Structure 1
């Protein structure tokens, strides 16, 4: 399914006429649908560790910037040294100030201002970062975080987008949306489990 086919399904479900185009349209309802679809996809991408969003990138050295499409670290590790040893996280700048000054055999990392710092510094050379990308939209071989054409597709099951956009539309129009939201939540759990192989 594409952005256009998703919105077509939503239009059918909420009983409004389909649009000739979504992206670039000046129709207020099309713009609202586009906004709902973007919000829905952003939410769905954040709420699960979708296999299609898992990425690995090599850090050249301590102090390297995070990847441009970085959303969050992958669960259960995140950053490992070139030899496969996991590098332990530090989440507090005060702790990092001490750890980065004291010699240690155990490597640590600290993410600050969009960069990854590693101590001891040499442990960052060739380290791998496992993360989840924020780029949940695909068009051909290109991944991106925002819709830009009507034939863009999502990397997760698009029926989730349809259900999410429907409840958002109903909520915006002041209609009851609890049933639609409950259906979306139930389907989301099912799809997350399926994506994990459960």
Structure 2
């Protein structure tokens, strides 16, 4: 469903005339809808769970010299529980040192972690010790390319009526409805609850099936297996 189709469903609920075009229009209300669509898309994509559709695997390759590696161009953030796994020691992830003073102290004291270490400085991932030539370090991150153009090319924001949201479009629609009403000073509490419920359901469904069976099935006391045939007199 294109963003124009989403907006066409939003407009009757918020009291606007259904438009034929939005992103090519200069009307004030259409400009507000453009900004709102992008804001809600960003919130849905980045403020909650780590959506599986936005996960991307990054692989850093050593050359025996470099200690800093540029982040991917579409990098938004790492997963909330991401680790960096080196090929040189595949059974031990690199130790994360988020504090810059601790990282600097390691450099000054010439201290090396047994399993290797990493931190982020600027727009780079820094790794110690130096990775050997062709050795790799891999981690998952969240991409900021949350929109698809009409031809399928991923992009960071809506710029055309034909663009498509990569995540749940119903959640986007409901989010735009409650936020528009809130922005205009209208009653929005019920609409916000509906949005939050839909977001929670979409988040729960995003991770896929998670069937867990432990031990043997529990049967009521005295229950017995049925005879798998037909008894005739």
* TM-score, length-scaled by structure 1: 0.93
Partner residue of 1:79 out of 76, 84, 87:
84
Q: How does 1:35-114 map to 2 (within 5 A)?
A: 35-46=35-46, 47-61=48-62, 62-83=67-88, 84=90, 85-100=92-107, 101-114=110-123
CA distance in 1, matches of 2:93, 2:79: 13
Check conservation: 2:95, 2:113, Cα contact below 8 A: no
CA distance in 2, matches of 1:123, 1:141: 38
| 1:123, distance to aligned residue in structure 2 (A) | 6.8
Alpha-carbon deviations, 1:51-98, whole Å to 9, x = none?
Answer: 100001211233111111111112333321125342121110011112
Say how many residue pairs are matched: 198
Check conservation: 1:55, 1:133, Cα contact below 8 A: yes
Q: Which residue of 1 aligns with 2:30?
A: 30
CA distance in 2, matches of 1:155, 1:41: 9
Between Structure 1 and Structure 2, the one with more helix by share is: 1
Check conservation: 1:81, 1:123, Cα contact below 8 A: no
Q: How does 1:1-198 map to 2 (within 5 A)?
A: 1-46=1-46, 47-61=48-62, 62-83=67-88, 84=90, 85-100=92-107, 101-122=110-131, 125-139=135-149, 140-197=151-208
CA distance in 1, matches of 2:68, 2:10: 45
Moved more, 14-23 or 184-193: 14-23
Measured at CA, do residues 147 and 123 of structure 1 come closer, stay the same or move farther in structure 2, by a change above 3 Å?
A: farther
Runs of 4+ with >3 A deviation? none
Moved more, 161-170 or 79-88: 79-88
Q: Which 5+ residue runs of structure 2 have no aligned equivalent?
A: 211-233
CA distance in 2, matches of 1:79, 1:145: 25
Moved more, 50-59 or 92-101: 92-101
* TM-score, length-scaled by structure 2: 0.80
